[in-house]
């Protein structure tokens, strides 16, 4: 049996100053890839620890964004704590922060402050609005970033209509994935060219990227359509006899014909209104009526077999309960069960990609506050006497 290889970012050390969601999820992705992520938290812990905190100490918000990290408590208002950071930096590959632009600089911990300590340091900053422009220094969160990005009208009824937000945290999660992508890219550049750099990601930058097709269409045509419950009759979902829904994606001529066969409705292929894609688009409402009638004739489970047999792209529309029991997610490791020292067994989302030679692995649950402070300081060369003095000064206090 081949030896188990370490994950792709094994040996990469990350000093993580992020809080809430956008930054912490980016560094979670790095931890899954094998990086040693040291989460720097203020006394009392970062704000995410208290979000939805239960009596057993479980916070889905914190666990969902901070698994596999080590926790170091530092009161950065104390000069001794700032000095700890500076002492750590020469052994750190990546610094990540998501404060308002200028906050780290005011503490003497900005990119230009730390670069002399390690010339090839990668320093990643995440914000709501980006680091340039008239809004750069404003505070912001997911919901208001969605608002500015145009997505609320695209998800709603269009310009002038009713806006609707995407799922909470959507801008945070997209921004986090792109920030992790930027960090990974910078690590490749450093390996190739021997240089570090400052990376800048933002919530609205991620939202623009996420809406690439829609924004390109608007910039070309000046039109924004807004959400349509059925953009096409054969690329949508239908209610079945038991009130459950099935989604279909029959977007080619061959798939259309196979859909008709799966529904036991070959006559639809011969209907003059629906014989080509243009006709099906022109008579979309009439085709929806025909398909609705047929799907409502049988419960959802009865449709899954015929749709599979005729190779029509489809899926049952699941809630989280159904999704969490579906074998496809477990087979690919997108859902996993882990053991944690403080919360016991937990089912959690797994790494979203797989790698054949350097597989990502969940490194554990979210760390108890300050759990690794002494361990990290000892590895950085601090003596027990120095650690005691830091505790006495309040620089490393947890409360």
Contact at 8 Å (CB) between 217 and 210? Answer: no
Contact at 8 Å (CB) between 313 and 249? Answer: yes
The pair of three-digit structure tokens given for residue 188, joined into one six-digit string: 């490749």
Q: How many CA atoms lie within 13 A of 184 on its CB side?
A: 18
Q: Cα torsion for 15, 20, 26, 30, to the nearest 10°? A: 50
User: Could you give the C-alpha distances from 120 to 111, 117, 306, in angstroms and in order?
Assistant: 11, 9, 58
> What residues have CB less than 8 Å from 244, skipping those under 6 apart?
299, 300, 316, 317
Contact at 8 Å (CB) between 366 and 69? Answer: yes
Helix, strand and coil percent figures for the chain, each rounded to 5: 45, 15, 45
Q: Which of 16, 142, 172, 200 is catalytic?
A: 172
Active site residue 172: yes
Contact at 8 Å (CB) between 96 and 85? Answer: no
> What residues have CB less than 8 Å from 102, skipping those under 6 apart?
137
Nearest to 235 by CA among 318, 152, 312, 322: 312
**CA 20, CA 25: separation in Å to the nearest integer?**
9
CB environment 214-246: b (16+ within 10 A), e (fewer) = ebeebeeeeeeebeeeeebbbebbbebeeeebb
Q: Looking at the annotation, which residues are catalytic?
A: 172
């Amino acid at each position: 049996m081949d030896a188990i290889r370490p994950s792709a970012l094994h040996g990469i050390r990350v000093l993580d100053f992020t809080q809430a969601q956008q930054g912490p999820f980016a560094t979670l992705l790095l931890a899954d890839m094998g990086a040693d992520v040291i989460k720097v938290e203020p006394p009392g812990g970062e704000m995410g620890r208290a979000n939805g905190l239960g009596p057993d100490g479980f916070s889905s918000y914190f666990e969902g964004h901070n698994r596999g990290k080590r926790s170091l408590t530092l009161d950065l208002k104390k000069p001794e704590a700032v000095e700890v950071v500076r002492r750590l930096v020469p052994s750190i590959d990546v610094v990540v922060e998501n404060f308002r632009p200028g906050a780290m600089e005011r503490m003497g911990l900005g990119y230009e402050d730390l670069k002399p300590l390690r010339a090839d340091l990668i320093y990643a900053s995440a914000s709501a609005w980006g680091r340039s422009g008239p809004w750069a220094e404003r505070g912001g969160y997911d919901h208001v970033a969605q608002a500015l990005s145009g997505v609320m009208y695209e998800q709603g009824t269009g310009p002038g209509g009713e806006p609707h937000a995407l799922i909470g945290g959507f801008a945070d999660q997209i921004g986090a994935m792109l920030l992790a992508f930027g960090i990974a890219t910078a690590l490749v550049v450093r390996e190739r060219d021997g240089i570090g750099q400052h990376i800048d990601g933002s919530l609205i930058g991620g939202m623009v990227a996420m809406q690439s097709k829609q924004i390109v269409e608007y910039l070309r045509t000046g039109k924004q359509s807004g959400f349509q419950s059925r953009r096409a009759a054969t690329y949508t979902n239908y209610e079945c006899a038991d009130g459950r829904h099935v989604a279909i994606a029959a977007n080619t001529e061959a798939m259309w014909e196979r859909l008709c066969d799966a529904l036991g409705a070959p006559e639809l292929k011969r209907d003059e209104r629906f014989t080509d894609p243009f006709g099906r688009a022109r008579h979309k409402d009439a085709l929806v009526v025909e398909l609705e009638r047929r799907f409502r004739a049988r419960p959802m489970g009865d449709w899954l077999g015929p749709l599979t047999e005729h190779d029509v792209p489809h899926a049952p529309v699941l809630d989280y309960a159904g999704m969490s029991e579906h074998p496809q997610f477990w087979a690919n490791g997108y859902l996993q069960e882990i053991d944690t020292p403080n919360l016991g067994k937990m089912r959690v989302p797994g790494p979203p990609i797989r790698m054949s030679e350097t597989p990502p692995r969940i490194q554990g649950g979210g760390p108890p506050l300050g759990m690794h402070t002494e361990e990290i300081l000892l590895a950085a060369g601090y003596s027990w006497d120095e650690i005691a003095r830091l505790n006495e000064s309040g620089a490393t206090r947890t409360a």
